[in-house]
Structure 1
Amino acid sequence: MTPPIPRDIPLPLPAPEGFLEILLIVSFLIHILFVHLMVGGSLFSLVCQIRGLKSPDYEKLAYRIMQTVTVNKSLAVVMGVAPLLVINTLYAPQFYASSALIGDMWMAVIPLVTVAFLLAYAHKFWWNHFINIPELHIGIAALETGLFLFIPLIFMTNVNLMLFPEYWPQVKGFFSAMLLPNVLQRYLHFISATILFSSLFFVWWSGRKSFQNEVGFSRLRVISVRRFFYAFAFGATVFQILTGLVVFASLPPQGMSWGFTLLLMLGGLLVLPAMWWMWQNLTHPGHLLDDRLKEITACFVCAAIIMGIARHDYRENALADHKSAIAEKTANYQAAVKDAREQAQLTAKTQESQTLVPGESAFNLNCAACHHPTLTTVGPALQEIKEIYANNPAGITAWTKAPGKKRPDTMKMPGFSQLSDDELTAISQYLLSH
Structure 2
Amino acid sequence: MTAPIPRDIPLPLPAPEGFLEILLVVAFLVHIIFVHLMLGGSLFSLVCQIQGLKTPDYEKLAYRIMQTVTVNKSLAVVMGVAPLLIINTLYAPQFYASSALIGDMWMAVIPMVTLAFLLAYVHKFWWHQFTGIPELHIGIAALETLLFLFIPLIFMTNVNLMLFPEYWEEVKGFVSAMLLPNVLQRYLHFLSASILFTALFLVWWTGRKPFQEEVQFSELRMVTVRRFFYAFAFGASIFQILTGLLVMASLPTQGMGWSFILILTLGGAAALPALWWMWHNLTRAENLIDDHFNKIIISFACAAILMGIARHEYRKNALADHQSAIAEKTANYSAAVKEAGEQAKLAELTVPKASTPGEAAFNQNCSACHHATLATVGPALQEIKAIYAGNPAGIVNWTKAPGRKRLEGMSMPGFPQLSDDELEAISQYILNH
Using the size of structure 2 for normalisation, the TM-score is 0.81
1:240 — aligned with what?
240
User: How big is the shift at 1:209?
Assistant: 1.3
Give the partner amino acid of 2:243: T
2:132 — aligned with what?
132
1:115 — aligned with what?
115
1:369 — aligned with what?
none
Quote the Cα distance in structure 2 between the aligned partners of 1:196 and 1:35. Answer: 12
**In 2 relative to 1, CA 54–326 (structure 1 residues): closer, same or farther, beyond 3 Å?**
same
2:313 — aligned with what?
313
**In 2 relative to 1, CA 287–122 (structure 1 residues): closer, same or farther, beyond 3 Å?**
farther
1:22 — aligned with what?
22
Quote the Cα distance in structure 2 between the aligned partners of 1:138 and 1:294. Answer: 34
The correspondence of residues 27-426 of structure 1 with structure 2, limited to 5 A, is 27-285=27-285, 288-352=288-352
Q: CA RMSD in A?
A: 1.6
Quote the Cα distance in structure 1 between the aligned partners of 2:131 and 2:57. Answer: 13
1:408 — aligned with what?
none
User: How big is the shift at 1:352?
Assistant: 2.5
Structure 1 unpaired stretches of 5+: 362-432
User: How big is the shift at 1:345?
Assistant: 2.5
User: How big is the shift at 1:289?
Assistant: 0.3
Quote the Cα distance in structure 1 between the aligned partners of 2:78 and 2:288. Answer: 34
Structure 2 unpaired stretches of 5+: 361-431
**Contact persistence 1:112–1:147 (CA under 8 A):** yes
1:371 — aligned with what?
none
Give the partner amino acid of 2:113: V
**Contact persistence 1:25–1:312 (CA under 8 A):** yes
User: How big is the shift at 1:123?
Assistant: 0.3
**Contact persistence 1:226–1:288 (CA under 8 A):** no
Give the partner amino acid of 2:94: Q
Quote the Cα distance in structure 1 between the aligned partners of 2:231 and 2:195. Answer: 11
Give the partner amino acid of 1:233: A
Quote the Cα distance in structure 2 between the aligned partners of 1:14 and 1:346. Answer: 35
Quote the Cα distance in structure 2 between the aligned partners of 1:34 and 1:296. Answer: 19
User: How big is the shift at 1:287?
Assistant: 5.7
**Contact persistence 1:223–1:287 (CA under 8 A):** no
Quote the Cα distance in structure 1 between the aligned partners of 2:173 and 2:48. Answer: 37
**Contact persistence 1:38–1:73 (CA under 8 A):** yes
Give the partner amino acid of 2:334: Q
User: How big is the shift at 1:17?
Assistant: 0.7
Report Cα offsets for 1:270-327 as digits up to 9, x if no partner: 1111001000111123664000000000000000000000000000000000000000
User: How big is the shift at 1:4?
Assistant: 0.6
Give the partner amino acid of 1:340: A
2:168 is paired with a residue whose SS is helix
Quote the Cα distance in structure 2 between the aligned partners of 1:210 and 1:305. Answer: 31
Quote the Cα distance in structure 2 between the aligned partners of 1:285 and 1:191. Answer: 30
1:416 — aligned with what?
none
User: How big is the shift at 1:351?
Assistant: 3.4
Using the size of structure 1 for normalisation, the TM-score is 0.81
Quote the Cα distance in structure 1 between the aligned partners of 2:44 and 2:341. Answer: 64
Aligned residues between the structures = 360
1:392 — aligned with what?
none
User: How big is the shift at 1:205?
Assistant: 0.5
Report Cα offsets for 1:380-407 as digits up to 9, x if no partner: xxxxxxxxxxxxxxxxxxxxxxxxxxxx
**Contact persistence 1:223–1:288 (CA under 8 A):** no
Quote the Cα distance in structure 2 between the aligned partners of 1:120 and 1:12. Answer: 42
User: How big is the shift at 1:204?
Assistant: 0.4
Give the partner amino acid of 2:193: A
Quote the Cα distance in structure 1 between the aligned partners of 2:272 and 2:18. Answer: 32
**Bigger CA radius of gyration:** 1
**Contact persistence 1:200–1:233 (CA under 8 A):** yes
1:205 is paired with a residue whose SS is helix
1:327 is paired with a residue whose SS is helix
Deviates more, 1:283-292 or 1:335-344: 283-292
User: How big is the shift at 1:214?
Assistant: 1.3
Quote the Cα distance in structure 2 between the aligned partners of 1:283 and 1:211. Answer: 26
Quote the Cα distance in structure 1 between the aligned partners of 2:90 and 2:126. Answer: 43
Quote the Cα distance in structure 2 between the aligned partners of 1:352 and 1:58. Answer: 90
1:400 — aligned with what?
none
**Contact persistence 1:255–1:316 (CA under 8 A):** yes
User: How big is the shift at 1:341?
Assistant: 1.6
**In 2 relative to 1, CA 287–219 (structure 1 residues): closer, same or farther, beyond 3 Å?**
farther
1:352 is paired with a residue whose SS is coil
Quote the Cα distance in structure 2 between the aligned partners of 1:288 and 1:74. Answer: 34
**In 2 relative to 1, CA 291–84 (structure 1 residues): closer, same or farther, beyond 3 Å?**
same
Give the partner amino acid of 2:271: V
